[in-house]
Amino acid sequence: MMDEKIDDVDMISDMPAFIMHHILSFLPRKEAAKTSVLSKKWNSIWSSFPILDFDQCCYLNKDHLFADKHPENKKRVKKFMNIVDKSFGRRFQEHKLQLQKFKLHITLVDFKLASLVDKWIELAFENDAKEIDLLVETEENSCYTYTLPKTIFVAKSTNYCKLGQPFSWTGVKFYSLQKLRLQEVCLNEEIIQDIIHTCPFITDFGLIMFKGPKILEISNLPKLRNVTVIPDDNYVESVKIDLPNLQIFRLGYSNQCQLDITGCKDLKELWLDSVNITDQLFHFSISRFPHLETLLINDCSMLERVNISVQRLRELRIFSCQKLLYVEIDAPNLSLFRYCNSSNQMAKLFLKNAPCCLELNLKLDPNDLVDTHWFLNLREFLLMSNQRKYLKILVFLSEAVTFDLKELSGMSLPPPVELDLMKLDIRNSALSIDYVTFIDGLLWSCRPKILSVPTGLESLDKCIKVLCEMLVDREDLHRCLGDHKCWRSHLKGAEITSIAGNEDERLLDCKTLLDMLPTLAKDQEIQFRLDWEHHLHGYLD
């Protein structure tokens, strides 16, 4: 038989340039640049790539822009600037590019180089960049501030602009701007009104960590659909948004301001993060949004009793509202409800009409008191509705854990609730607690079908070992034989069902698991399946 010769075919290199550019857009800049050495075709594709993404943090492998004042570090920043300048030269002299995106995040370590930054920014706008993302910092404690060149505000094609330094809005002409994000800037009422008057096609508007004005009003922008407002301080006293077509509104870190968004009749998504909103104002506002589908409430410290009745609501998240005591929900289309709070303040949740599974997250802080009455409160908290439930407990606890059923003698106790899943995430700060007592109290409080623990910490490995002893090997079954109030009397059996995704029954035993623990990567899941008796009437004695 004659050998068949098969020619290697480079399918990717034969693709049109715009498709190859699209492929490069998914790679980090350093990785994308490496493709230029593959062939002449790839070199040409890289040289004409219409996305210029220059982030000093990525280049220096730092998590912030401020450059330290060590001479070697300043040399690296200047080297980074040389790379940026050469990239501009090749693209605009050889290819006459129309930019799709220009991103520049940089620290100006030498003000003599400010004119170079001006040149890049002006070139990007002159070449009709569709997206602009600019953040030019100066060194910490510097008496200089970089100001954007005024010429950038005459842009015919830019539809997304993110700015993060001082600027003047005088003479703005963004002919087709659709998305605007202003971050860490100083604003006044005049600038806000100029934006409203000069950007009639804007659909997304973000004000992030800004200073001033005291009264923020946004209106008369009929195409605006998405607004985010996060002040840098508490000087903002009032936020009023009157946009009948607005669909998404996010407000954060506004503990002292008054909020009026009742004019947003078409609102579908509302985020309130660290906002001082009273029960009365919350109920008044929510009742004005019949189309609301997503609601997030985080760290709203004035809320105590909340009634949420929204027919179209699909997602509800309530996090860290420490004074919240009571939540009543009437939402027949709800598909996700996630509640997260400190374990010492569990609100009573009453779901009148909400068919979804409940995702409950409790956090045990280092100084929290976890005793017999805490476990009783947990049992009562989980009893609040008939919905299926997931429970995750994040444990930073450093204090002693106590649990003694004798303290509850003579009390009429509610039955333990069945959970679809319970996740335990125990951090190393809790390494010294009594794991047997802690798990003893948890399994008295509820009946999880699946108990899951991640790997990767000494505290988690210790927890997994104790679970093997208590659930699978049943070494301490004798501790409560005949005591109907003890969870061990109602556990028919338990088994390991998964070790880091491995469900091979031949490997699912405690000895194998404990041998494997030191080799498992962080955040792998160990799952136990628990088989419970279903006759719980005896608990009402």
Helix, strand or coil for residue 422? strand
Q: Omega of the bond prior to 213 within 30 degrees of 0, cis?
A: yes
Assess if residue 353 is contained within a domain. Answer: no
Residues whose CB falls within 8 Å of the CB of residue 412, separated by 6 or more in sequence, listed in order: 540, 541
Residues whose CB falls within 8 Å of the CB of residue 515, separated by 6 or more in sequence, listed in order: none
Assess if residue 130 is contained within a domain. Answer: no
pLDDT for residue 48: 82
Q: How far is CA 406 from the centre of its chain?
A: 43
Tokens 């303290």 belong to 407
**Residues 213, 234: contact at Cβ < 8 Å?**
no
Q: Bridge partners of 541? A: none
Looking at every residue in the chain, the average pLDDT score rounds to: 85
Helices 435-445 and 372-382: angle between axes, nearest 10 degrees: 30
Assess if residue 341 is contained within a domain. Answer: no
Helix, strand or coil for residue 524? coil
CB-based burial label for 531 (10 Å; 0-12, 13-18, 19+): exposed
Helix, strand or coil for residue 329? strand
Predicted structure pTM score: 0.81
pLDDT for residue 204: 95
| Rounded (5°) CA angle 291-292-294 | 150
Number of domains in the chain: 1
Assess if residue 403 is contained within a domain. Answer: yes
Assess if residue 244 is contained within a domain. Answer: no
Residues whose CB falls within 8 Å of the CB of residue 226, separated by 6 or more in sequence, listed in order: 203, 204, 205, 246, 247, 248, 249
SS (H, E, C) 371-405: CHHHHHHHHHHHCCCCCCEEEEEEECCCCCECCCH
Q: Is the dihedral of CA 425, 430, 435, 439 positive or negative?
A: negative
Continuous segment of H or E residues that includes residue 176: none
- For residue range 162-186, what is the model confidence (pLDDT) as tens digits? 887 656 565 566 768 899 988 878 7
Identify the domain containing residue 434 by its residue range: 361-474+484-534
Assess if residue 428 is contained within a domain. Answer: yes
| Rounded (5°) CA angle 460-464-469 | 150
**Residues 530, 451: contact at Cβ < 8 Å?**
yes
What is the C-alpha to C-alpha distance for residues 365 and 43, in angstroms, rounded to an integer? 55
Which structure tokens are listed for 474?
């049943």
What is the C-alpha to C-alpha distance for residues 348 and 484, in angstroms, rounded to an integer? 28
Which structure tokens are listed for 310?
């929204």
Assess if residue 24 is contained within a domain. Answer: no
pLDDT for residue 128: 79
3-state helix, strand, coil in the chain (%, to 5): 30, 30, 40
What is the C-alpha to C-alpha distance for residues 367 and 395, in angstroms, rounded to an integer? 11
Q: Which residues of the chain have pLDDT under 70?
A: 1-10, 62-70, 90-96, 139-145, 150-156, 165-173, 175, 343, 475-484, 535-541
